[in-house]
Structure 1
């Protein structure tokens, strides 16, 4: 409920250009001042590299690879419907553009640079890289957690969370996205992953 409420409030504020967007402006300006004060080329390159972890060319192959590994482990462990991780991963990968692209087009929010959108641009809200990374890495961690020991699953979940936080931080640091673009995508991904977490025991049951 909290994730849904935050997503609705942020989306409403973006749609009406509400006062909550002042948070975005304050964060952007603060990050720019900090970036100039530090003046670290290495840190700026790190921000871009972290942002790239949210690209489909990186996140989707990781998701599909983890799904293949989960299916192999499930088959080796004698699980019924051992093949389920692969279609689940494909569905997750397809779901991201189906949800994000129409929202970007509808909200048509300009980016942190303040340049008006061109005719061929979708807009910045919500963040596609954030949604891609959170859904891909989160789904991968959930699939592997179903077939690995609980302690390993928790560690994989922590790694996925850190990776997603890194993507969000990199996007904001590099002026690629507003903070609320990132927060909204985290909320959207969180809702989807919570649903998947509840469905997986039925989709990929334990060994009889």
Structure 2
């Protein structure tokens, strides 16, 4: 039990530490300055249009479009596959996906308003605007693609499920790196978004019934590909 709780506890502690430093303008913010300078030096030395294009593409994947439609589509796909397999609560992904979409602004918007942190270009916030902490694009990508992969992955065989989840983790990391590369966010903004996303996914994985591709019952009259 302790081992199963260690990951969320570490994530929560890291998120609390970073949030405290942002609120108090603590010394940890020097890490943001170092990352910004290092990335700027690397970007200028490489001077790669292809890398810049890729970074912008990845950062755009954290927008509400396309992340939320992908999440809702994944919920529909997971429900369809579960129904075909004869799962009793096949409709559950249809409930989870929109709830996850609603949860994202509930997590991000109040925090942005509370911390009111200027962005990496350090321009003052205009009246009525939200701050940069935590990163909404990072959280949107992590929760949307992560929940979608979690729901669909439960309907796949073990190998395909692991590939899907690994690709989703890389995508979530790529969105964050793209935001930093394009100077859209501080590193700690992105780190907080990763922590929030991981906590949501951990809670959802614990709450969902334990059904995977190898455990999904086949509909009456169907047989598996191996005849079993």
Corresponding residue number in structure 1 for 2:12 = 4
Structure 1 residue runs of 5 or longer lacking an equivalent are none
Distance in 1, matches of 2:100 and 2:201, equals 10
Task: After TM superposition, give the deviation of residue 203 of structure 1 in Å.
Answer: 9.2
Do 1:14 and 1:21's aligned partners in 2 also have CA atoms closer than 8 Å?
yes
Task: After TM superposition, give the deviation of residue 81 of structure 1 in Å.
Answer: 1.2
| TM-score, normalization by structure 1 | 0.96
Q: Which protein is richer in helix relative to its size?
A: 1
Task: After TM superposition, give the deviation of residue 66 of structure 1 in Å.
Answer: 1.0
The 5 A counterparts of 1:1-208 are: 1-201=9-209, 206-207=216-217
Distance in 2, matches of 1:121 and 1:203, equals 43
Task: After TM superposition, give the deviation of residue 121 of structure 1 in Å.
Answer: 1.6
- The alpha-carbon distance between structure 1 residues 36 and 115, as it changes in their structure 2 partners (threshold 3 A), is same
Report the RMSD for the aligned CA atoms in angstroms: 1.6
Distance in 1, matches of 2:132 and 2:180, equals 12
Task: Name whichever of 194-203 and 42-51 sits farther off.
Answer: 194-203
| TM-score, normalization by structure 2 | 0.88
Task: After TM superposition, give the deviation of residue 150 of structure 1 in Å.
Answer: 1.5
Do 2:154 and 2:211's aligned partners in 1 also have CA atoms closer than 8 Å?
no
Do 1:54 and 1:129's aligned partners in 2 also have CA atoms closer than 8 Å?
yes
Q: How far does the alpha carbon of each residue in 1:77-128 deviate from its partner, in whole angstroms, 9 at most, with x for none?
A: 0001101101100000110001100100000000000111111320000000
Task: After TM superposition, give the deviation of residue 42 of structure 1 in Å.
Answer: 2.3
Do 2:108 and 2:134's aligned partners in 1 also have CA atoms closer than 8 Å?
yes
Task: Specify the SS of the correspondent of 2:208.
Answer: helix
